[in-house]
Structures are given as structure tokens and as C-alpha cells.
């Protein structure tokens, strides 16, 4: 035709949503083109999100564990941090291995990768503009939009490299003496954890009355308590009134009952007040795809937009903005295009803050149940009674299970504590399988493990708990 390339499926964006959709469609026999504006595949998650943040959080964990071992008789010296080495390890041994692996997998599957910024020019064509200005037109039968999201900017903040988003914070330019985190959500708390361990004095300002809104308060409390001890301050129900850049630092003034009265000076500021979808940047209007005023694209359970042959997945279709939600939506979109009768129907999507301790939850929360009038029964097991938690000196955790009062099935779970993110997987499977407390209590868990706390919580509900240690 009139296009440079004609394909059955075009995928716009190569994050976890995009590469998964492209690979699945290729595996199902489709001819696939994957468009990405950056030189490496993997999107936010692999390049500047999930993966590099977890690498740095691992380093943070090693440092804090070494510090805290002094409480039980073993002391190490002050850590010597070679920032350049740490940066290179994160970039070359972690991120580059994964993004390079994706490029190889694309090649293996015969997926054509086109580098450049893609924009719809019609409902069957995308034009891709490369860095050197070259335009490649791609004609397609089906499209999957996986263009993701970007950090929300703080309104009125000056342009200054010391005022960073998560990408700037992950770049680890230096270890600021004093750092302010604006927004006490997952990014702010994860990156705050990293910089605290590296030696910065970290403060968090959050305009709501609690950290990690959307998670039950009892699960957030142990994390908040520990952060209050380690961080310089956590200012809740507090607003940033003004941010100004000066030679001696970033000057910030606050408003609110708990707010410092004087202007504070920070070496760096991390803005982590949420992410907004890229829906308005892809020429969607030329294809007739409806984008709401915030930039989200509405889809049905088959990930179809209002234009039947165009699909959308991942952060661009709405909350929760999580990599594993994007990958599961991606498979649905690719399979629907290949003619399979499938839809996205997860019963629970896990959320994990990889802080120290971790906070993890899935399905119906206690807060949801109250708000929506769902009749529940809950069982909560305190880790202070877990032999394993005590033996690793981290007994602040808790494991909470939420059951439907009528069916007795598990419908939600929340865990706070070391490794909560890994532990939650069992509960998510139980929710998907329709398990009840009996099923969980009768499943033999190895002793002494933290996973036993799920079994113990279930037994507490059944009233059959006999031996804890």
C-alpha cells in the first residue's frame, strides 16, 4: 500500500504492557511491529521504575540490616558507598541485562522494532518519527496502545535539577544531606527508604492524613512507626505552600497544623505525587479513539477502545498503574486479536510497597468493605507471635485475612512485614481459587517460616490455633 510497513498488529510503547502484547501476538502467529521512542525496550518498569528501584532497595536493605545487627551483638563499620559503582551495577548488571534480553526475544520472535515517536494519523495508520527526523508510516489491521504514563509535575515548582521526579532520584547523582519527598505514596516511600539508608536525612510531606492512601491503616502503621524513627520527619495533613531554588538549596515553606513554621532548606526534593497517562500525546483523535480529559483511554473487558480494532492496556487505561496489571491486560488484548474468546477478569490485583517493612495487599480491603457495605469476617495474626519473625528481629509485622461473611471464602488479604510482597502471592492464589479459612488452615506450611502467618491467621478465624512457636 502507501505505507512503509504493513502489519497485522502494531503495538505503541514497549513497557511491560507493550512487549508482552507484542510477544504474545507474535507467538499466536501474527505479524507484529513494536514502536518505542527510546533506544531500549522495557518502558518505565525496566528502565526507570520497578527494576532499578528494587536494585537500590536491595542495597538499602543490606545497609540497614548490617546497622541493626549491632542490636544483637554484631557490629560492622560505617558503609563505604561508591556511588559510581552502585550506579553502574544497577544500570549494567540489572537493567541492561533485562532490556537486552527483551531485544533478543523480539528478534527471536520476528517482532519488528521501530524506534521513534509514534502518532496515529488515521484509524489504520501510525507515523513514527525517529530522532533524525525520518518518518516511517505503518499501516495496521489492529493496534494495541501501551504508551504508559509519566510523573506528575509539582505545580509552580521551578525548573531545577535538584527538584527531581523518580527518574532523577534513581539516577543517584549524589547523596543529598537533606532531602524532601513530596507525596507519601509508594514511589516517595520506596525512594525515601533508599536515600535514608544511603545516609540522607529524609523528610516526607503528604497532604492526606496518612501514608499510602488506598491501603488499610493498620497495615501502614508499622511502616510509618519505623519511618518516624529513621527519617527526619513525616509531615501528614501538610501542604507545600512554596518551592524556590536558591544557591544554598531548595527553599520550601509548608502549611498545616503539623507544619514547620519556618522555611526549610533541602539539598534535593523528590516530587512523587502520582503519575498521569500519556493518552493525549499519541494522536488518538486522528484514529477516533476517545481519551478523557486526564489522558486515560476507556476500554472494555477485552481491552477494546471505542474503536473496535484498536486496543489499549497498562497505565494508560487507568488504576492501578502496575506492571503486572499491564502484562495480564496485554495477553488478553493479543489473544482477543488472535480470535480467542477471553477477557480480563482478575479477582485480585496485588499491590506491594517494597519499603522496609514491605506493605502488600490484594482484593477487598477492610476499608473497601466498610465503604461498600460488604459483610466480612477478618482474622489478623500479629508477627510478635511468629517464631520466625522474632528470630529475624522483625516482629512488627501482621498478616490479615478478609473473608466473605456468607460464603466464608477469602476475598482479601493484607500483609505488613519483611517479605510481605512475596508472602502475599499465596493469598492471591487462594482468592482466585475460592479457598476458605479451612483450606488455608489445613495446608501444611513449613515451620518456622513467615508464610505460616497465613495459616495461623486462618486458624485464628476457625478458632483452632493450638501452637504458635
Binding residues for FAD: 54, 315, 321-324
Segment 119 to 148, residues that bind ligand FAD, using CB under 6 A: 146-148
For ligand NAI, which residue of 275, 304, 331, 400 counts as binding (CB under 6 A)? Answer: 275
Nearer Cβ to ligand NAI, position 187 or 336? 187
Tell me the pairing of strands 310-312 and 135-145.
parallel
282 contact choice in ligand FAD, ligand NAI, none (CB below 5 to 8 Å, kind-dependent) = ligand FAD
147 contact choice in ligand FAD, ligand NAI, none (CB below 5 to 8 Å, kind-dependent) = ligand FAD
The span of 34-42, 278-286, 319-327, 452-460 binding ligand NAI (CB under 6 A) equals 319-327
Residue list for the binding site for NAD(+):
118, 183-190, 206, 274
CA distance 2 to 127: 12
Nearer Cβ to ligand NAI, position 356 or 459? 356
CA distance 72 to 254: 40
Q: Say which DSSP state 199 is in.
A: T
- 3-class secondary structure, 56: helix
Quickly tell me which residue has 533508599 as its cell: 194
For ligand NAI, which residue of 16, 168, 185, 279 counts as binding (CB under 6 A)? Answer: 185
**Per rule CB under 6 A, is residue 279 in the interface with ligand FAD?**
no
For ligand FAD, which residue of 149, 200, 305, 451 counts as binding (CB under 6 A)? Answer: 149
* Contact between residue 274 and residue 185 where contact means Cβ atoms under 8 Å apart: yes
For ligand NAI, which residue of 273, 303, 336, 402 counts as binding (CB under 6 A)? Answer: 273
Cell of 408: 466464608
- Compute the chain's Rg from CA coordinates: 24
Any bridge partners for residue 311, and if so which?
144, 304
**Per rule CB under 6 A, is residue 278 in the interface with ligand FAD?**
yes
In the chain, what is the greatest distance between 2 CA atoms, to the nearest angstrom?
Answer: 74
Q: Is 9 exposed, middle or buried (0-12, 13-18, 19+ CB in 10 A)?
A: buried
Q: Which helix (H) or strand (E) holds 342?
A: none
**Per rule CB under 6 A, is residue 166 in the interface with ligand FAD?**
yes
**Per rule CB under 6 A, is residue 208 in the interface with ligand NAI?**
yes
* Contact between residue 267 and residue 178 where contact means Cβ atoms under 8 Å apart: yes
**Per rule CB under 6 A, is residue 407 in the interface with ligand NAI?**
no
Sheet holding 249-255, edge to edge: 239-246, 249-255, 264-266
Segment 346 to 385, residues that bind ligand NAI, using CB under 6 A: 352-354
Asked about 438 being catalytic, the answer comes back as no
For ligand FAD, which residue of 3, 6, 8, 37 counts as binding (CB under 6 A)? Answer: 37
* Contact between residue 365 and residue 215 where contact means Cβ atoms under 8 Å apart: yes
**Per rule CB under 6 A, is residue 114 in the interface with ligand FAD?**
no
Q: Residue 157: CA atoms inside 13 Å, Cβ hemisphere, count?
A: 22
For ligand NAI, which residue of 79, 101, 158, 274 counts as binding (CB under 6 A)? Answer: 274
CA-closest candidate to residue 416, choices 238, 216, 261: 216
273 contact choice in ligand NAI, ligand FAD, none (CB below 5 to 8 Å, kind-dependent) = ligand NAI
Q: What is the 3-state secondary structure (H, E, C) of 97-111?
A: HHHHHHHHHHHHCCC
For ligand NAI, which residue of 9, 147, 180, 186 counts as binding (CB under 6 A)? Answer: 186
The span of 194-202, 272-280, 283-291, 411-419 binding ligand NAI (CB under 6 A) equals 272-280
**Per rule CB under 6 A, is residue 315 in the interface with ligand FAD?**
yes
CA distance 389 to 240: 38
Residues of the shown chain interacting with ligand NAI in the complex, contacts defined by CB under 6 A? 182-188, 190, 205-208, 213, 240, 272-275, 320-322, 352-354
Residues of the shown chain interacting with ligand FAD in the complex, contacts defined by CB under 6 A? 12-18, 35-38, 43-45, 49-50, 53, 117-118, 146-149, 166, 187, 278, 281-282, 314-316, 321-324, 326, 354
Amino acid at each position: 500500500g502507501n505505507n512503509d510497513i504493513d502489519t497485522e498488529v502494531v503495538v505503541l510503547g514497549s513497557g511491560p504492557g507493550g512487549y508482552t502484547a507484542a510477544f504474545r501476538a507474535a507467538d499466536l502467529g501474527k505479524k507484529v511491529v513494536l514502536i518505542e521512542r527510546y533506544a531500549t525496550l522495557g518502558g518505565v518498569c525496566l528502565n526507570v521504575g520497578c527494576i532499578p528501584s528494587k536494585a537500590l532497595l536491595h542495597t538499602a536493605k543490606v545497609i540497614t540490616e548490617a546497622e541493626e545487627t549491632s542490636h544483637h551483638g554484631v557490629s560492622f563499620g560505617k558503609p563505604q558507598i561508591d556511588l559510581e559503582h552502585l550506579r553502574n551495577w544497577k544500570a549494567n548488571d540489572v537493567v541492561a541485562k533485562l532490556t537486552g534480553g527483551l531485544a533478543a526475544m523480539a528478534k527471536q520472535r520476528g517482532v519488528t522494532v521501530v524506534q521513534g515517536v509514534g502518532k496515529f494519523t488515521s484509524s489504520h495508520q501510525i507515523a513514527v518519527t525517529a530522532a533524525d527526523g525520518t518518518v516511517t508510516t505503518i499501516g495496521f489491521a489492529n493496534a494495541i496502545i501501551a504508551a504508559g504514563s509519566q510523573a506528575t509535575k509539582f505545580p509552580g515548582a521551578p525548573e531545577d535539577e535538584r527538584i527531581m521526579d523518580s527518574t532523577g532520584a534513581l539516577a543517584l547523582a549524589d547523596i543529598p544531606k537533606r532531602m524532601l519527598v513530596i507525596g507519601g505514596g509508594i514511589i516517595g516511600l520506596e525512594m525515601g527508604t533508599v536515600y535514608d539508608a544511603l545516609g540522607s536525612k529524609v523528610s516526607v510531606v503528604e497532604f492526606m492524613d496518612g501514608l499510602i492512601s488506598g491501603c488499610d491503616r493498620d497495615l501502614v502503621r508499622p511502616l510509618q512507626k519505623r519511618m518516624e524513627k529513621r527519617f527526619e520527619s513525616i509531615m501528614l495533613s501538610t501542604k507545600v505552600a512554596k518551592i524556590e531554588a536558591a544557591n544554598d538549596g531548595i527553599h520550601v515553606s509548608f502549611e498545616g497544623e503539623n507544619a514547620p513554621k519556618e522555611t526549610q532548606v533541602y539539598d534535593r526534593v523528590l516530587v512523587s505525587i502520582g503519575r498521569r497517562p500519556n493518552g493525549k500525546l499519541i494522536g488518538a483523535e486522528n484514529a477516533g479513539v476517545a481519551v478523557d480529559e486526564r489522558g486515560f483511554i476507556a476500554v472494555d473487558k477485552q481491552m477494546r477502545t471505542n474503536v473496535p480494532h484498536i486496543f489499549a492496556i497498562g497505565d494508560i487505561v487507568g488504576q492501578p498503574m502496575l506492571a503486572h496489571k499491564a502484562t495480564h491486560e496485554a495477553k488478553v488484548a493479543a489473544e482477543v486479536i488472535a480470535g480467542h474468546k477471553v477477557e480480563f477478569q482478575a479477582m485480585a490485583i496485588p499491590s506491594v510497597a517494597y519499603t522496609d517493612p514491605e506493605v502488600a495487599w490484594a482484593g477487598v480491603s477492610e476499608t473497601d468493605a466498610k465503604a461498600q457495605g460488604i459483610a466480612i469476617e477478618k482474622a489478623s495474626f500479629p508477627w510478635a507471635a511468629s517464631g520466625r519473625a522474632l528470630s529475624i528481629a522483625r516482629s512488627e509485622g501482621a498478616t490479615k485475612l478478609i473473608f466473605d461473611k456468607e460464603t466464608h471464602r477469602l476475598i482479601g488479604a493484607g500483609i505488613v512485614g519483611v517479605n510481605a510482597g512475596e508472602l502475599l502471592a499465596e493469598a492471591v492464589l487462594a482468592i482466585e481459587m475460592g479457598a476458605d479459612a479451612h483450606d488455608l488452615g489445613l495446608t501444611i506450611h513449613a515451620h518456622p517460616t513467615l508464610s505460616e502467618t497465613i495459616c495461623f491467621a486462618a486458624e485464628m478465624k476457625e478458632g483452632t490455633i493450638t501452637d504458635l512457636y
